[in-house]
Amino acid sequence: MTHKLSAARLNRLFLAGELSAVEITESVLSRIASVDPVVGAFIKVAAEHALDRARKLDARRKAGDREFGPLAGVPVAVKDNICTCGIETTCASRILKGYVPPYDATVVERLRASGAIIIGKTNMDEFAMGSSGETSAFGVTRNPWDLERIPGGSSSGSAAAVAAEEVPLSLGSDTGGSIRQPAALTGVVGLKPTYGYVSRYGLVAFASSLDQIGPFGHDVEDVARLFEVIAGPDRRDATNAGRTPPEVKFGGEPSLKGVRLGVPREYFGSGIEAGVRARVEEAIKQLEELGASVEECSLPSTEHALSAYYIIAPAEASANLARFDGVRYGYRAAGASGLLEMYGRTRAEGFGPEVKRRIMIGTYALSSGYYDAYYKKAQQVRTLVIRDFERAFGRFDALVTPTVPTTAWRLGEKLDDPLSMYLADICTIPVNLAGLPAISVPCGFADGLPVGLQLIGQHFADTQLLQLAWAYQKVTKHHEARPDVDLKGGRQQ
């Protein structure tokens, strides 16, 4: 049952000597072995790497070392677009199959320094492009609550691995909702930090001005613990704000007295499912009961945010993915007769359809005749979105919205309809355009499927947001629900 323990608990038990890091790691590895064949959360389980690391931690502890970081002994899964030195990193793409980075991402360095055990690399939509976990070149990830349904994306594996109790914590990345959306659809907590709080060094870029690494966990405390480990200054990332978040303190009676919450009406539009709306409205009532003042507001540019996002993100992606050309690493098409053919075939064979679609959109939007009409216009819309939020934060401490307008859909249901898939991120995308922090916390179920509540904060208000989410979690307990993957897994096999 060790695998069911929280990160905080595992850390305490390890430090107290009641559980060895090896015991913890073996328990997690065996849990993965039993459920991951049906969930598909991992692309790579780095068992040897993890055990080796665990043995070293145990040896240190036995030798009397007490200088351990806050994640000592805690297994953490890492999304496969975050570089891990010595462990294959593929971004779930054929083009990077076999690529082993010679360096660690800053967040991975910090995980290691904090005593965490990196257990493996989680499945994802290829290059983080997708909202369902179905565009991976290495197979789909399934939603632990219903294996016929998608877990959300693109951090599908990181969310599902936590939801299925394979690991207590994981890292994902969020470009347009890729942490919050799968967190909502799998019933876990996911934080998208303020842009610039967590170093992107070592995160394989999708859209540089939007990407941010963030944590998944079952509860807000665990998520906060992981956030505190990964956030902070890093000189290797010029967009890093150089700020260390204030310590998150939990405890006492949860109260939201004096907290002003805004409810933007644009997030409750016609696309929202009745069940989702009902759960979110209940959550808002509970927040009010906790003492918060709640008021409706408007973010009028919201309706254009999606369009702007689907210009800016592919534009940046088209440049960021240009380095995958078959020259230095990863996949190279065999038998090409010249350079151009080698480039063309490598990329044609290496990238999947969604990635190609976005590269083409981005290339088109940036091309000299269309730049003003698309890219420039999209940047103007982005400015409007930012202004909307600035205005709202003049009146409110945080905004409350659904994370996703629907619950998890069936595998394959939207795969051939990219536009409807893009709509799944409509509530999360504006946050990325503005670089704000936002968290998704479980707020109940609709038709047996998890629903997520999104709380959006001001720049660098991540700590306040975590405290707000903690207060909600404390009085509702939705986060304690767990899917019965064992049974379902058994049935599948």
Partner 1 sequence: MTAKWETVIGLEVHVELSTETKVWCSCKNEFGAEPNTNVCPVCLALPGSLPVLNAQALEYAVKAGLALNCKIQRYSKFDRKNYFYPDNPSGYQISQYDLPLCYDGYVDITRKDGTSRRIRIKRIHLENDAGKLVHAGDDVAAADTSLVDFNRAGVPLIEIVTEPDIRSSEEADLFLNKLRSILKYCGVSDVKMEEGSMRCDVNVSVRPAGSAEFGVRSELKNVNSFSAVVRGIEYEQKRHISILEEGGAVEQETRSWRDAQGISVLLRSKEDAEDYRYFPEPDLPPVVLTDEDVERVRASLPELPDAIMARLMSDYGLSAYDASIIVAEKEYADWFLRAVELAGRESAKTVANWQINELNRVMNEKGLGPDQIPVTPEQLAGMLKLIEKGTITGKIAKTVFEKMVESGKDAETIVKEEGLTQVADEGELLKIAREVVAANPKVFEDWKSGKQSAAQWFVGQLMKATRGRANPQLALKLVTQALEEQAGQQ
| Residues with active-site annotation | 79, 154, 178
**Minimum CB distance to partner 1 smaller for 238 or for 487:** 238
Q: Check residue 197 for interaction with partner 1 (CB under 8 A).
A: no
Q: Check residue 316 for interaction with partner 1 (CB under 8 A).
A: yes
In angstroms, the CA 435 to CA 194 distance is 6
Q: Which tokens go with 166?
A: 């394979």
* Burial category of 417 from C-beta neighbours within 10 Å (exposed 0-12, middle 13-18, buried 19 and up): exposed
Min CB(372)–partner 1 separation in Å: 12
Chain CA centroid to CA 132, Å: 12
**Minimum CB distance to partner 1 smaller for 315 or for 465:** 315
Shortest CA distance to 70 belongs to which of 168, 205, 153?
A: 168
| Token pair 């842009």 in the structure block, residue | 195
Q: Check residue 363 for interaction with partner 1 (CB under 8 A).
A: yes
Helix (H) or strand (E) holding 124: none
Q: Check residue 359 for interaction with partner 1 (CB under 8 A).
A: no
Among 24, 71, 72, 83, binds partner 1 (CB under 8 A): 83
In angstroms, the CA 210 to CA 221 distance is 25
Q: Check residue 208 for interaction with partner 1 (CB under 8 A).
A: yes
Q: Check residue 375 for interaction with partner 1 (CB under 8 A).
A: yes
Q: Check residue 102 for interaction with partner 1 (CB under 8 A).
A: yes
Beta strand 449-457 pairing with 212-217: unpaired
**Minimum CB distance to partner 1 smaller for 206 or for 409:** 206
Residues 122-161 that bind partner 1 (CB under 8 A): none
In angstroms, the CA 399 to CA 266 distance is 12
**Minimum CB distance to partner 1 smaller for 312 or for 455:** 312
**Minimum CB distance to partner 1 smaller for 108 or for 248:** 108
Q: Check residue 366 for interaction with partner 1 (CB under 8 A).
A: yes
- How distant, in Å, are the alpha carbons of 161, 395, 426 from that of 420? 26, 33, 10
Residues 402-421 that bind partner 1 (CB under 8 A): none
Min CB(443)–partner 1 separation in Å: 33
In angstroms, the CA 226 to CA 206 distance is 23
Among 14, 138, 201, 389, binds partner 1 (CB under 8 A): 201
Min CB(198)–partner 1 separation in Å: 13
In angstroms, the CA 192 to CA 294 distance is 23
Q: Which one-letter amino acid corresponds to residue 232?
A: G
Q: Check residue 285 for interaction with partner 1 (CB under 8 A).
A: no
Min CB(359)–partner 1 separation in Å: 11
In angstroms, the CA 339 to CA 325 distance is 10
| Other Cβ atoms closer than 10 A to 222 | 26
Among 33, 327, 348, 360, binds partner 1 (CB under 8 A): 327
Shortest CA distance to 216 belongs to which of 164, 150, 138?
A: 164
Shortest CA distance to 105 belongs to which of 122, 86, 124?
A: 86
Q: Given the rule CB under 8 A, which of 197-205, 217-225, 256-264, 398-406 is the region that contacts partner 1?
A: 197-205
Among 207, 220, 306, 455, binds partner 1 (CB under 8 A): 207
Q: How many residues make contact with partner 1 (CB under 8 A)?
A: 45
Q: Check residue 203 for interaction with partner 1 (CB under 8 A).
A: yes
Q: Check residue 64 for interaction with partner 1 (CB under 8 A).
A: no
In angstroms, the CA 124 to CA 155 distance is 5
- How distant, in Å, are the alpha carbons of 272, 284, 293, 412, 449 from that of 406? 6, 17, 26, 16, 10
**Minimum CB distance to partner 1 smaller for 34 or for 209:** 209
- How distant, in Å, are the alpha carbons of 323, 335, 351, 362 from that of 330? 10, 16, 12, 23
Among 51, 319, 333, 386, binds partner 1 (CB under 8 A): 319
Q: Given the rule CB under 8 A, which of 34-42, 152-160, 195-203, 440-448 is the region that contacts partner 1?
A: 195-203
Q: Check residue 105 for interaction with partner 1 (CB under 8 A).
A: yes
Beta carbons of 473 and 479 less than 8 angstroms apart: yes
**Minimum CB distance to partner 1 smaller for 49 or for 332:** 332
Q: Check residue 367 for interaction with partner 1 (CB under 8 A).
A: yes
In angstroms, the CA 421 to CA 310 distance is 12
Among 62, 65, 86, 103, binds partner 1 (CB under 8 A): 103
Q: Applying CB under 8 A, which residues contact partner 1?
A: 81-83, 89, 91, 96, 99, 101-103, 105, 200-205, 207-209, 235-239, 315-316, 318-319, 321-325, 327-329, 339, 343, 363, 366-368, 371, 375
